[in-house]
Amino acid sequence: MKDPEAFRLEAVATLRRRVTGRAIVAASGGIDSTAAAVLTQQALGERARSIFVDTGLLREGEVEKVGAFFRASDLEYTVVPAAERFLGALEGVVDPEEKRRRIGTAFIRLFEEEAVRFSADSLVQGTIAPDWIESGGALRDTIKTHHNVGGLPKDLKLQIVEPLRDLYKDEVRTLAAHLKIPRADRQPFPGPGLAVRVSGPVTVDRVAVARRANAIVEEEVDRAIAEGRIARPWQYFAVLLPVRTVGVTGDNRVYGEAVSVRIVESIDAMSAVAAAAPWELLRTIAERITRELTGKVSRVLYDITDKPPATIEWE
């Protein structure tokens, strides 16, 4: 992007032309949708409302962190609590693509309801070029149904507006800096949230285990970064696996599930390398996960697969 101010002016003008009534913005807390939300607020003022959905599939402290990020970006926003709806939609579902479809539909239905509440006829999303390219909108085969692109029902009652549709990530970063959105050292987090980090059935209990395991990985890696033991990886997280595996506590054999820890280096998520994480860091993570989640997790694995052949997420 040569001139972010020129882009901003044009995007604001286009938003004003396309949205004649009111709009809601699907704000995930990521840089893309935050930039789209700030542009929409600049274009429409009171006629825009940014909505952050608490799906019940978010990470520990995420609602608070995202709220602070929005406030620092001068964005007006509303948090919609929707854990029951999302977990209900996922009941009994184990197929990863089906999880994504159900979550996509739940998001859309929720936004339709919020639109009715706000008398909006448009939905603004932070879709960027790689999102629709990966979702089969252009040259590439369908790699994955991203929640913000796939799963759109045919009977959608809202006009979809995507002000960042033609931008690539580095251009969004330039734009975000220009819009005075603070830099957040936030790792990418998939739209379907912890649902795709809970392999197998998505239950309240299993989500809670994955959430804590993720938090432990984040805490320990962040500590290692802060102490200069490692450089900041691209992504670092835990995945709960539906495996019954045995462990010992004292004299007892206890069955729990397994957790896979994933730490990857990448430039753009198109390819990635499993990080050669320090042994001590991995041992600390394994020790904390098995201790803090005794009876739930009895084994911790480290995923050493690159992308390709694997993907970054497990599902």
CB of 311 to ligand XMP, least distance (A): 3
Backbone phi and psi for residue 116, each to the nearest 5 degrees, phi listed first: -60, -45
**Closer CB to ligand XMP, residue 152 or residue 269?**
269
**Closer CB to ligand XMP, residue 43 or residue 263?**
263
Mention every residue, 6+ apart, whose C-beta is less than 8 A from residue 174: 1, 4
**3-state SS assignment for residue 156:** coil
Residues lying near ligand XMP in the complex (CB under 6 A): 100, 144, 146-147, 188, 190-192, 235, 269, 307, 311-313
**Closer CB to ligand XMP, residue 96 or residue 247?**
96
CA distances from 117 to 23, 141, 292, 301 (A): 11, 37, 42, 46
CB of 312 to ligand XMP, least distance (A): 3
**Closer CB to ligand XMP, residue 250 or residue 309?**
309
In this structure, are residues 37 and 66 in contact, taking their beta carbons and an 8 Å threshold? Answer: no
Provide the pairing of β-strand 252-265 with 273-274. antiparallel
CB of 294 to ligand XMP, least distance (A): 29
**Closer CB to ligand XMP, residue 118 or residue 234?**
234
Please report, as a single letter, which amino acid is at residue 191: G
CB of 137 to ligand XMP, least distance (A): 14
**Closer CB to ligand XMP, residue 264 or residue 300?**
264
Q: What is the rounded distance in angstroms from the CA atom of residue 67 to the CA atom of residue 126?
A: 17
CB of 192 to ligand XMP, least distance (A): 5
Q: Encoding tokens for residue 54?
A: 């608490």
Partnered with residue 24 across adjacent β-strands are 49, 123
CB of 97 to ligand XMP, least distance (A): 10
Q: What is the rounded distance in angstroms from the CA atom of residue 219 to the CA atom of residue 264?
A: 16
